[in-house]
Amino acid sequence: MNDDSPDIRKVGVVGCGLMGSGIAEVCARSGLHTLVHDVDRAALESGRERIERSLAQALARGRLSAEEAELVTGSLTFTTDLEDFADRDLAIEAVPENQDLKVGVLTTLDRIVRRPDALFASSTSSIPIMKLGAATSRPGQVMGVHFFYPVPVLDLVELVPSLATDDEAWTRMRRFASEVLGRHVIVSQDRAGFVVNSLLVPYLLSAIRMFESGFALAHDIDEGMVRGCGHPMGPLALTDLIGLDTTLAVAESLFAEFREPLYAPPPLLSRMVQNGDTGRKSGQGFYAYPEPASR
C-alpha cells in the first residue's frame, strides 16, 4: 500500500440491528461519515434510538462530552435505499447470520458502490469469506471484519482475509480497524467460526446439552462457571446475550464445515429458536428479560 492511498472517510453499514447499530456508532465516534441502512423503516428508527441511548450512557459516565456526542450524531445518516451507498469507501454488511442474505447484500453493493478500490466487509461470525467474496466482481477487496457485541464496549475485532483478498486491501483494512477505529485486531484464517467462535460455541453448546439433559439448572450451570472459573458471565446467560438464533446459525455453519459432533446444535436450541425464544433481544431465552434489547 502507498502512503498516499486515499483514506477511508465514508462508511456504509447495511443492517441496523444490535450489531449494525453498534458498528455504525463506533465508526461515527471515529469521525467517519457513516450511512446506515435497513430495509424496514421501523427497524431503522429502532437502531437510531439504540445509538442515542448508548451515547447518552457514555455521556452520563463521562466517557463522552456533549460536543463529542453531537458530532457523532451529526456524522450519522439513515436510509432505506441502498443506492445511497454509491459514494462509500467502505461498505460493511451486518445483516442476520444467513449466507443467502449476506450474498445478496454483497452482490447488490458490488453493483452500486462506484469507487474501484472500495473495500467490502462482512460482519459474519462464521460464514467462510471466500463464499461471500465470490458473490462480487471484486473478491480481492472483500474480507471478514467480525466485531463483538456490545460493539462500543468490546474493542476486539477479528480480521479474516480469504485466499482471494489482495495485499493492498488487506493492509488498508487492518490499518483502518486498528488506527482509525482503535480496535484490538486478531487475525484468523478463513475457516468457519474463525478464532473466537471455534472455541466459544462448543462451550456454549455443551452447557445447553447439560441443561437439556436435566444435569443441572441454568442458574447453577452459570454460577459454576462464574464463581468456579472466574468467567464474567455464565454460558447460558452469554448465549442469551449473543442470541440463540445467532448461536444456532454459527453452530450450523461450523458443523457443515467440520462435521464434528461438538459443533452439532442440541435439539433444545433449535426448538427454542423455532419458538421465537432468542434471548435478550426477544425477552426470553434461558432466562426471562422484562425489556427486550431489540426495542
Active site residues: 125, 146, 158, 197
Q: In what order do the strands lie in the sheet with 10-14?
A: 76-79, 33-37, 10-14, 90-93, 119-122, 142-147, 156-161, 184-187
The residues near 100 (Cβ < 8 Å, ≥ 6 apart) are none
CA–CA separation, 208 and 261 (whole Å): 14
β-pair partners for 10: 33
> Which three-class secondary structure state does DSSP give residue 197?
helix
Residue 32 burial (C-beta neighbours within 10 Å; 0-12, 13-18, 19+): buried
Rounded Cα distance, 270 and 273, in Å: 5
- 77: which 3 cell numbers? 445518516
Q: Identify the helix (H) or strand (E) that includes residue 19.
A: helix 18-29
